[in-house]
Structures are given as C-alpha cells and as structure tokens.
C-alpha cells in the first residue's frame, strides 16, 4: 500500500481570539488553508473576516491561539514572517502610495527590487502580471497612481500581490477584490484565480457577491459574530443556503419597476449629450436611474458633473440640494478622524440646527434611527468611524445621504462591501423613497443592481449609447449595449 503524502496546510490558525474593547472580533476561529485551494470567506459586515485576514497577514497578533506555516508552529509571527512564508494580501482599503508611480509602488512592495536597472525590472514584473491577469488593461506602469481610476488602482494592487520577485507566492488573500471592477474585469480576475489555484497556489477570497464566491471557491467558510459557523465544499452550498448560514434571508429579487409618463414634465436633473455625441441625460422626480456599461466609461464623470451643476443651489434652499454617496470611501467618503455620528450627520447640519447651533439631542436621535434602520454594527455612535468594518463604514455614507431632504441622490457604486442582508434593506429603502418622489441616479458595477432600476443609461467611451426602460432593463440588453454601443 502506498502512503498518501501528508499535505501540510500553507497556514493554520487555531482558536484565534481578538477583542477590541468589548467587541469580540474573533472568538476562537480556526482556519486551515491547503495548497491548491481557493477558500471563499463570507459573513455579514463586522463578522470578523478582515480581522482573521489581518492575523494571517501578520498585521494583528491574536490575544489567544496559535499559527503554523507548512506544519511548523510559529512562535513569533508578524508581517515579515508572513511575507517570508509566501503570504500576500490585497486589502479592502487599497494601500498603494498615490504620489508614486506604479513602478515605484511595485518597488515598495518588493524590497529586494534594488540595484542597477530596478525600474526596468519593476516595469517588466508589474507589466507582465497585469497582462497575465487583465489582458488589454491599458495601464502605463510609469504613470502616477493618483491619476488612475479606482478600478485601475485595484488592478495594480492585485497584480502586485500575485507578482513574484524573491520568495514564491503561496497564498494570496483577496479582500473584496472585485468591488471596484466591472463585470468583464471581474471575470478576468476570477479566471486567473482558478489558474493560480490549479497551478498549486492558494487563495482566500472574501466577497459579498455570492455568485462569484460559489463559482470560484473550492471550499466556503462562513463567519458570524467572530466565529466560524459553517464550512463546506463549495458544491454543497447554493445561494440560499449560503445566505441562511450567514444569518440572513434571501428576499425576492423582483421589484416593481415604474415606467413614468414624463411627457411634458421638466426633468429634475439633466445634461446634454457628452462631447456632442450620444444621448442626453434626464432624470425625473421619483425615478431610479441606473448608469451602466464597462467601468470608467464616463459614469462617475456624469455623476460629478450633475453634482457640480447643482452646487450653489443651497442659495435656493435645502430642498434644492443633491446628495452624493462617494464611491472611493477612503478618498472621498469618510472623515477619518471623526466619530461615526459626526460622519453620519454632517450632510444635514442645517436640518439639525436650532437658532444656528446643532442640537445634540436631534443629532443623536437621527444617528440612532439610522443605526437601527440599516444595522450599523457598533456599541456606541461616538466611536471613531475607523473602528467600524469596511461595510459598516459604507452604511454610514449611505445614511448620510439618505438622512438629508435632498430630492436627488447621486450614488457612485455605493454598495461596495455591503453585506447581502443590508443590501436588500437598502434596495427597499430606495424604492420606498422613490415612491415618495425622490430621484436616485445609481452607478453600479453589479448587474443585479442595474436590473433593479426603472431606467438605465448605458455608457461606452464616455458617452451614453443606449437608454433601456422597464422590462427591457435586462443583463443581456445592458451587455449588448456596453460592448456594441447599441441596445439589443
Ligand atoms: N481597530 C478597531 N477598533 C475597534 N473595533 C474594531 C477595529 N477593527 C475591527 N473592529 C471591530 O471588529 C469587528 C470585526 O470587524 P471586521 O473588519 O473583521 O469585519 P468584516 O467581517 O471584515 O466586515 P466587512 O464585511 O464590513 O468588511 C467589527 O465589529 C468591527 O467594528
């Protein structure tokens, strides 16, 4: 009888516990990652996914528990030990230095890239990896990172993590890697993940998009309130059982769309066709308008133009304003030194003021109401915003916009990192608010969300190439218009 060789786990964390004050972020988590497997990690916002990832990445030391790499117990484990053992991480909050070029950022990640000709070597390493993962990406490695779109930055970060310089890359942790990528870039990444895993590499894949978790993972681990509550081969889960294991309920996706008769009405927001080409943009009261198409084709620019066209409208009173939910949370969304409450209420100080002073009780009431309405997971709204998990920070940005009386809300891919239970709550809030007459203009990289909209403008190369209404808002029609430039 031939002995079956024992496969050591690339990394094994046993019974890890971490608390932040009264919050048990990890409450005895055991996770074992084998070579050649992609492990999907799912759970509600604040379940502890980023915390266990930070333990594996060496950024956080568990207060209790053990870590072993390739079967060897690690006495002292930190960032250097994790890298030496081939662990790489792509963080939810992108970590590139914005003032440096792509090449220089590659050098920051790979310290051994030194000596004569390091720029040339770095350019080749990052360029080759970008070509391998995202063929046709169009990113210039000599460009400065701050000039890249959020999707391009995410692509660079991913390519850097998979690129190999000194030590072999054994385990790559991808925390919400597709959150800023459109459908075609996400497919390229997921295909690459499968190729990497089939070649013997390991991946921990965190996502709130359950379809991609189910299609890409070999095994799925479900976390809830700092614990692992379910763990099975991916084939033994479907979307319903996965959501149930996370502690939520799948609600019907179908929402009544409204086809408004807008003939003779004045649009609330409008914009002529861009650069004199394509269709003009119009949004009427009570509509949910989707902006679709491949990422970076003019959707965010349109939102910004619509926003700027209304600035100064406070002169006409609060009810004329527009609210904006920023897409790049870290760059344009949170005030990092402020509390959760101040971040939530900043957009409606006029509504909370009595005789020129902000009323603290009114501010606290507003905060409590939204905390409950979209389940912001914190013990105290006075805590710093950065003490919240990524998805919970995103909920605060949502609440900030919805808590204003602005008749129009512009949303730049606002559901990044938000868990499925909350998304469903937010979809219902959007529909209820639209029924009351509010207008939403919603850029989303998720097709399911585009399909919830009443009317959709599809973008291609910076201009609107198609308008879809009501039942013609389908994935097939949106894709056809995105790629061919004309609605099916
Ligand atoms: N630095 C910190 N200070 C205080 N609390 C923290 C800190 N980091 C995380 N927490 C808390 O630990 C818990 C777990 O957070 P974690 O970021 O691991 O969740 P997550 O599952 O990654 O959520 P998400 O899906 O929103 O990213 C949350 O309740 C969070 O508020």
What is the mean pLDDT of the segment spanning 99-115? 87
Of ligand 1's listed atoms, the one at least distance from the Cα of 377 is 29
Residue pair 443/327 in contact by the 8 Å Cβ criterion = yes
Q: What is the DSSP string of 38-91?
A: EEEEEESTTSSHHHHHHHHTTSS--SEEEEEETTEEPSS--HHHHHHTTEEEE-
Of 213, 246, 279, the position where a domain reaches its end is 246
Pair 109, 196 in one domain = yes
Distance CA 205, CA 90 (A): 10
Domain carrying residue 34: 11-246
Of 231, 246, 261, the position where a domain reaches its end is 246
How many angstroms is it from 23 CA to the middle of ligand 1?
A: 9
**What tens digit of pLDDT does each residue of 12-52 get?**
999 999 998 878 899 999 999 999 999 999 998 888 999 99
The larger pLDDT score, comparing residue 375 to residue 385, is at 385
- Please say if the pLDDT value at position 198 is more than 70: yes
**What tens digit of pLDDT does each residue of 64-74 get?**
999 999 888 99
Residue 149 located in a structural domain: yes
Q: What is the pLDDT of residue 230?
A: 93
- Please say if the pLDDT value at position 263 is more than 70: no
Q: What is the pLDDT of residue 365?
A: 93
Of ligand 1's listed atoms, the one at least distance from the Cα of 392 is 26
- Please say if the pLDDT value at position 244 is more than 70: yes
Pair 214, 280 in one domain = no
Q: What is the pLDDT of residue 315?
A: 43
Residue 4 located in a structural domain: no
Residue 48 located in a structural domain: yes
Pair 356, 403 in one domain = yes
Confidence class of residue 349 from pLDDT cuts 50, 70 and 90?
confident
What is the mean pLDDT of the segment spanning 437-454? 90
Q: Which residue, judged by its Cα, is nearest atom 24 of ligand 1?
A: 45
Q: What is the pLDDT of residue 1?
A: 46
How many angstroms is it from 393 CA to the middle of ligand 1?
A: 10
Handedness of CA 115, 119, 122, 128 (dihedral sign): negative
Residue 38 located in a structural domain: yes
Residue 459 located in a structural domain: yes
Q: Which of 262, 203, 253, 232 is nearest to 56 (CA)?
A: 203
Whose tokens are 């310089």? That residue is 165
Q: Which residue, judged by its Cα, is nearest atom 4 of ligand 1?
A: 387
Q: Provide the CATH number for the domain around residue 101.
A: 3.40.50.300
Summary count for the chain: helices (H), strands (E):
16, 20
Q: Which of 59, 73, 57, 65 is nearest to 26 (CA)?
A: 65
How many angstroms is it from 20 CA to the middle of ligand 1?
A: 9
Residue pair 78/35 in contact by the 8 Å Cβ criterion = no
**What tens digit of pLDDT does each residue of 412-438 get?**
988 877 888 878 888 888 898 899 989
The runs of H, that is alpha helices, within 257-388 are: 299-310, 340-345, 349-352, 360-373
Q: Is 0.95 exceeded by the ipTM?
A: yes
Whose tokens are 């709130």? That residue is 208
Pair 208, 301 in one domain = no
Distance CA 405, CA 353 (A): 14
What is the mean pLDDT of the segment spanning 270-292? 85
Pair 212, 76 in one domain = yes
Pair 327, 422 in one domain = yes
Please report, rounded to a whole number, the percentage of residues in the chain having pLDDT higher than 90. 41
Mean pLDDT computed over every residue of the chain: 86
How many angstroms is it from 8 CA to the middle of ligand 1?
A: 30
How many angstroms is it from 46 CA to the middle of ligand 1?
A: 5
Pair 207, 307 in one domain = no
Of 246, 277, 306, the position where a domain reaches its end is 246
Pair 220, 161 in one domain = yes
DSSP code of residue 329: I
Pair 289, 230 in one domain = no
Residue 2 located in a structural domain: no
Residue 280 located in a structural domain: yes
Q: What is the DSSP string of 382-440?
A: TSBGGGS-HHHHHHHHHHHHHTS--SEEEEESTTTT--HHHHHHHHHHHHHHHHTT-EE
Q: What is the pLDDT of residue 262?
A: 67
Q: Is 341 helix (H, G, I), strand (E, B) or coil?
A: helix
* Of 248-262, 298-312, 457-471, highest mean pLDDT: 457-471
For the chain, the 3-state helix, strand and coil shares in percent, each to the nearest 5, are 40, 20, 40
Pair 383, 449 in one domain = yes
Pair 227, 126 in one domain = yes
Q: Which residue, judged by its Cα, is nearest atom 28 of ligand 1?
A: 46
Q: Mutate which of 13, 20, 210, 380 to test ligand 1's pocket (most atoms within 8 Å of Cβ)?
A: 20
What is the mean pLDDT of the segment spanning 381-388? 92
Domain count, the chain: 2
Ligand 1 pocket, Cβ-based, cut-off 6 angstroms: 20, 23, 25, 43, 45-51, 92, 377, 387-392, 417, 419
How many angstroms is it from 197 CA to the middle of ligand 1?
A: 28
Of ligand 1's listed atoms, the one at least distance from the Cα of 419 is 25
Q: What is the pLDDT of residue 487?
A: 40
Residue 3 located in a structural domain: no
Confidence class of residue 295 from pLDDT cuts 50, 70 and 90?
confident
Please report, rounded to a whole number, the percentage of residues in the chain having pLDDT higher than 70. 91
Q: What is the DSSP string of 156-224?
A: HHHHHHH--SSSPP-EEEEESTTTTS-HHHHHHHHHHHHHHHHTT-EEEEE-S-HHHHHHH-SEEEEEE
How many angstroms is it from 364 CA to the middle of ligand 1?
A: 23
**Cβ contacts of 447 within 8 Å, gap of 6 or more:** 183, 475, 478
How many angstroms is it from 25 CA to the middle of ligand 1?
A: 6
Pair 167, 316 in one domain = no
């Amino acid at each position: 009888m031939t002995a079956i060789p024992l496969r050591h786990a690339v990394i094994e964390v046993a019974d890890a516990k971490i608390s932040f004050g009264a919050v048990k972020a990890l409450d005895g988590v055991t996770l074992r990652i084998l070579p050649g497997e992609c492990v999907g990690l799912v759970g509600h916002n604040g379940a502890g996914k980023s915390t266990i990832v930070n333990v594996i990445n060496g950024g956080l030391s568990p207060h209790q528990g053990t870590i072993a790499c390739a079967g060897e117990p690690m006495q002292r484990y930190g960032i250097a030990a994790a890298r030496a053992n081939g662990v790489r991480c792509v963080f939810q909050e992108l970590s590139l230095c914005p003032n440096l070029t792509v090449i220089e950022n590659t050098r920051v990640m790979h310290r051994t890239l030194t000596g004569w000709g390091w720029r040339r070597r770095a350019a080749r390493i990052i360029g080759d990896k970008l070509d391998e993962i995202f063929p046709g990406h169009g990113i210039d490695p000599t460009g400065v990172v701050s000039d890249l779109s959020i999707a391009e930055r995410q692509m660079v970060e991913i390519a850097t993590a998979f690129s190999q310089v000194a030590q072999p890359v054994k385990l790559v942790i991808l925390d919400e890697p597709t959150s800023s990528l459109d459908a075609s870039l996400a497919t390229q990444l997921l295909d690459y993940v499968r190729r990497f895993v089939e070649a013997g590499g390991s991946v921990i894949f965190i996502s709130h998009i359950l379809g991609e978790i189910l299609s890409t993972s070999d095994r799925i681990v479900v976390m809830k309130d700092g614990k692992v509550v379910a763990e099975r081969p991916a084939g033994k889960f479907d979307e319903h059982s996965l959501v149930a294991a996370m502690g939520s309920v799948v609600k019907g996706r179908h929402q009544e769309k409204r086809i408004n008769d807008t003939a003779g009405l004045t649009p609330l927001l409008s914009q002529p066709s861009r650069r004199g080409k394509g269709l003009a943009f119009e949004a009427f009261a009570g509509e949910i308008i989707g902006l679709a198409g491949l990422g970076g084709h003019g959707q965010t620019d349109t939102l910004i133009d619509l926003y700027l066209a209304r600035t100064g409208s406070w002169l006409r009173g609060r009810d004329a304003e527009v609210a904006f939910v920023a897409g790049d949370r870290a760059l344009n969304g949170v005030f990092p030194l402020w509390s959760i409450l101040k971040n939530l209420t900043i957009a409606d100080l006029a509504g909370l003021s009595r005789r020129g002073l902000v009323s603290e009780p009114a501010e606290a009431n507003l905060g409590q109401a939204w905390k409950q309405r979209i389940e912001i997971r914190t013990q105290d709204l006075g805590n710093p915003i950065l003490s919240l998990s990524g998805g919970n920070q995103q909920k605060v940005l949502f609440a900030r916009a919805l808590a204003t009386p602005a008749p129009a809300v512009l949303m730049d891919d606002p559901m990044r990192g938000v868990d499925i239970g909350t998304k469903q709550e937010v979809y219902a809030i959007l529909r209820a608010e639209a029924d009351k007459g509010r207008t939403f203009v919603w850029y989303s990289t998720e097709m399911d969300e585009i399909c919830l909209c009443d009317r959709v403008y599809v973008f291609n190369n910076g201009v609107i190439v198609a308008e879809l209404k009501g039942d013609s808002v389908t994935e097939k029609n949106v894709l056809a218009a995105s790629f061919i430039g004309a609605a099916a």
